[in-house]
Amino acid sequence: MSAEIIDGKMVAELLYKRVKEDVQQWCKKGNRRPFLQVILVGDEPASIIYTGTKTKACQQVGIETDTMVLQDTISENELTEIIHSCNTNYDIDGILVQMPLPSHLSKYSVIEAIDHRKDVDGFHPMNVGRLSLDQPCFKSCTPAGVMELLKYYSIPVKSKHAVVVGASTIVGSPMAVMLSRENSTGKATTTICHKYTRDLTAHTIGADILIVAAGQPNLIKAEMVKQGVVIIDVGINRIADETHEKGYRLVGDVDFESVRIKASWITPVPGGVGPMTVAMLMKNTLLAAKKSVYPK
């Protein structure tokens, strides 16, 4: 037996189609196109790729976008000033500061500078807080994309034991909140594991749903999971590989080939959670435009 593949690329394409139609409807009513302002600080190759992917996604669904490229020597004050001017710019619906930031900039100070009503990444304390309270908010795109995948494939979550490996503020922590909240897709008994967890296998072996967002290739092996587990691999790791045109390939945090034999469902890398992250960003940007409190 081998697991069914969760096709994130396909589900993301379906979402794109839906958002594109919604954008058309929205514009037909006389509204201007939604606008996403992307801010890229420095020239980290991965960040350049991610902002490029997001620009292409915007073009696909009819959302306007611009990427502001800033030198990595910029001060926190200068960056905050730029964000403030985006906050008050009526033409901008969503603001996204590409992560990771150069190390001299505090991620949290920069995120807090964004107007929470334009925080389409869902990283602002207002949105994180509202998520915890089960109130409407912008939801962090990666965990929201995972919930969307579980829903699409009708994978039951209620009363299951979900184990999240990795406690980052952007993925692991909101993921655990979404799985455990008492809303339509949540209601799982949820365990969070992290680098201080003593016996990782003792936790992962009991998981009905295992979400891995640790950033460590091959962390999860077949002997660490039970038969029939649902595996969601959030890891995006670049491994040097001369046989690939770019000189590297992407792998997740899960030893895919060994684990797939035991799992009932599994996400591949690439083509699993990654495309959903970008699709959820499109959904959030349209939502930001629709909720815009500013005059047209």
Residues catalogued as catalytic: 54, 98, 121
Q: What tokens appear for 46 in the block? A: 């991965």
| Residue whose token pair is 């990782």 | 200
Shortest separation between residue 30's beta carbon and ligand BQF, angstroms: 32
> Which of the ranges 61-69, 161-169, 266-274, 283-291 carries the binding residues for ligand BQF, by CB under 6 A?
266-274
Q: Count interface residues toward ligand BQF (CB under 6 A).
A: 11
Dihedral pair phi/psi, residue 200, rounded to 5°: -60, -45
Shortest separation between residue 29's beta carbon and ligand BQF, angstroms: 31
> Which of the ranges 124-132, 151-159, 219-227, 264-272 carries the binding residues for ligand BQF, by CB under 6 A?
264-272
Question: Before 270, cis peptide (omega within 30)?
Answer: yes
Neighbours of 158 (CB within 10 A): 11
Does 237 participate in binding ligand BQF (rule CB under 6 A)?
Answer: no
Does 172 participate in binding ligand BQF (rule CB under 6 A)?
Answer: no
Does 95 participate in binding ligand BQF (rule CB under 6 A)?
Answer: no
Shortest separation between residue 186's beta carbon and ligand BQF, angstroms: 23
Helices (H), the chain: 8-28, 45-61, 76-87, 107-113, 125-132, 141-152, 172-180, 200-204, 256-259, 273-291
Given 262, 274, 287, 289, the residue binding ligand BQF (CB under 6 A): 274
Given 99, 200, 205, 222, the residue binding ligand BQF (CB under 6 A): 99
State which of positions 34-93 bind ligand BQF (CB under 6 A).
50, 53
Give Cα 139 to chain centroid, integer Å.
Answer: 9
d(CA 187, CA 88) in angstroms, rounded, equals 39
Does 144 participate in binding ligand BQF (rule CB under 6 A)?
Answer: no
> Which of the ranges 24-32, 190-198, 254-262, 273-281 carries the binding residues for ligand BQF, by CB under 6 A?
273-281
Residue nearest to ligand BQF (CB): 274
Given 40, 177, 214, 269, the residue binding ligand BQF (CB under 6 A): 269
Reported for 150-157, long-range contacts at CB under 8 A and 24+ positions apart, including other chains, are 150/185, 150/209, 150/230, 150/232, 151/185, 152/11, 152/14, 153/4, 153/6, 153/265, 155/209, 155/230, 155/265, 157/185, 157/186, 157/187, 157/188, 157/209
**CB-nearer residue toward ligand BQF: 23 or 101:** 101
